[in-house]
Amino acid sequence: MTRHRNQQPDESNEDFVQAFKMQAEFCGFGAFKNVAIMDRVLAGLLDGNLKENLLKEESLTLDKMDKFITTWNIAKQNRRQESAMAASSTNRRVVDSKEMCCSW
């Protein structure tokens, strides 16, 4: 398994984890495999907040890490959508108020 591989800017968190899982199949880690995958994922994640929250988890396992990352990404996507909707709503209110003020 590559020691110095870091997540690429255009690579999703899930794809990053999956790449290490696939690579670990050929490394002969045995019982140490899941720990090795988690170690490399934590070392190479780009999202510092995600990494920090994963490190705070008690008794972290690879399965827990997978679920946490999935939940994290869904929450992040929801926040982006809410922000976009709020911005769109704000823009619409500005247009509506201009139309109301400027109508003769």
Structure tokens, 53 = 């929250």
Question: Which tens digit of pLDDT belongs to each residue from 8-61?
Answer: 999 999 999 999 999 999 988 999 999 999 999 999 999 999 999 999 999 999
In a domain? residue 71: yes
CB-based contact 12:73 (threshold 8 Å):
yes
In a domain? residue 36: yes
| Identity of the residue numbered 77 | Q
Question: Which tens digit of pLDDT belongs to each residue from 50-84?
Answer: 999 999 999 999 999 999 999 999 999 999 888 88
Compute CA distances 83 → 12, 48, 99, whole Å. 21, 21, 24
Report which of residues 23 and 87 the model is more confident about: 23
CA-closest candidate to residue 68, choices 79, 57, 81, 59: 57
Domain membership of residue 34 as a residue range: 13-80
The number of distinct structural domains making up the chain is 1
What is residue 98's predicted lDDT score, i.e. its pLDDT?
53
Report which of residues 62 and 101 the model is more confident about: 62
